[in-house]
Amino acid sequence: MTELSLLRVLLLLSMAVAPLGTHRLLFAGPSRLRAASHAVAWGLAAVGLFSPAPILCAAWLLFTAGSFALFLRERGAALWSPGGLAACVPFVFSNIAAVWLVAGANDLGLLGYGPAFSYYAALHGNVLGWMLIGAIAALADRAGPHRRIHLVAVLVCFASFLLIALGIDQLRALKPIGVVGLTLAIPASQLAFLRGVWPKHKAAFSLACVSLAGLALTMFLAWRNELGTPAFAWVLDLRGMVVVHGLLNAVVVGPSHLLAVVLHAKSREPDSRYA
């Protein structure tokens, strides 16, 4: 398997999981139309990624943009509350990731980058931005004892991603600041969530523990790579950060925490969602 093929598989996995969780948490109720749109858009994107018709990946961008539009319409005036604004963040990430997906699949050279970097950006947007920060945003959107911690974490994560983006090529001093922000904000929110669910919901607690442990490992690998001493240079003839860091985040860290929050939210229904 080539590196690009692995990235495509991880992207499709993240695209299958992220909407299932965040839409369940952030929309007022289930929708057959949204579910059908998700399935169709995912199928077209899969064909586009592995066929000579990459333009089909544009269906995914239409899905993410349409989902965001529906969310904005549903929330109305409640959108301008702190929780409502936080709930917008995963939708923003989903659309940014979709743009990078389309750019990478069609080799558009967005901002001068090729398919590999575009897929990296899309994967980070889906896993960290849509899944992991999306779960935190859902907690910030709901009444709870640690809501303020989750709100601050969402804001810090969003700002940190901007700093990292600006620091990749131009203002390099900003990138470590962004990495520090993510290193502090995400675990702080996860620890607050763990404190809130134990011992009332052991399944959610266990999943969140798995996610936090995986996050600690991937952050350690990211910092080693940032400091020029990667723990895994090559794995199976592929770059170690893609195989180990990418797999852990896409398969363990993001989905585990998102599922933990979904299970916790389900156990609390019919609590007020936008209080």
> How confident is the model over 137-183, as pLDDT tens digits?
999 998 888 999 999 999 999 999 999 988 887 788 898 899 899 99
pLDDT digits (tens, 9 = 90+) for 184-243: 999 999 999 999 998 889 999 999 999 999 999 998 888 877 777 766 666 655 666 777
Distance CA 238, CA 5 (A): 11
What value does the mean pLDDT take over residues 247-275? Answer: 82
What is the tens place of the pLDDT at every residue in 52-93? Answer: 999 999 999 999 999 999 999 998 888 888 899 999 999 999
Residue 54's contacts (CB-CB under 8 Å, 6 or more residues apart) are 48, 105, 106, 107
The pLDDT of residue 269 is above 90: no
How far is the C-alpha of 87 from the C-alpha of 27, rounded, in Å?
Answer: 10
The string of pLDDT tens digits covering residues 106-150 is 999 998 999 999 999 999 999 999 999 999 999 999 888 899 999
Rounded distance, CA 47 to CA 152, Å? 39
Q: What per-residue confidence (pLDDT) applies to 224?
A: 79
Mean pLDDT of the region 5-16: 95
Domain definitions of the chain by residue range: 3-268
What does the pLDDT read at residue 159? 95
Q: Which parts of the chain fold into alpha helices (H)? A: 3-26, 32-49, 58-75, 82-105, 115-124, 133-141, 147-167, 174-197, 202-226, 240, 247, 254-268
Q: What span, in angstroms and rounded, lies between the C-alpha atoms of 37 and 24? A: 15
The CA dihedral of 211, 49, 122, 186, to the nearest 10 degrees, is -10
Alpha carbons within 13 A on the beta-carbon side of 264: 29
Query: Is 60 exceeded by the pLDDT of residue 271?
Result: no
Give me 34's structure tokens.
């949204």
pTM equals: 0.90
Residues 259 and 186: their CA atoms lie apart, in Å, by 16
Residue with tokens 């523990």: 209
As a whole number, mean pLDDT of residues 238-253 equals 82
Question: What value does the mean pLDDT take over residues 38-59?
Answer: 97
Q: In the prediction, which pLDDT does 231 show?
A: 62
pLDDT of 170: 74
pLDDT at residue 274 in the model: 44
Q: Look at residue 143 in the predicted model and tell me its pLDDT.
A: 83
Tokens, residue 107: 């080799």
Closest CA relative to residue 104, chosen from 94, 118, 93 = 118
Confidence check: pLDDT of 8 > 90: yes
pLDDT above 90 for 97: yes
**pLDDT over 50 at 98, yes or no:** yes
Q: Are 7 and 246 within 8 A, CB to CB?
A: yes
Q: Which residues pair with 182 in a beta bridge?
A: none
Classify residue 235 by its DSSP letter.
Answer: E
pLDDT, residue 222, reads 81
Structure tokens at 239: 């770059």
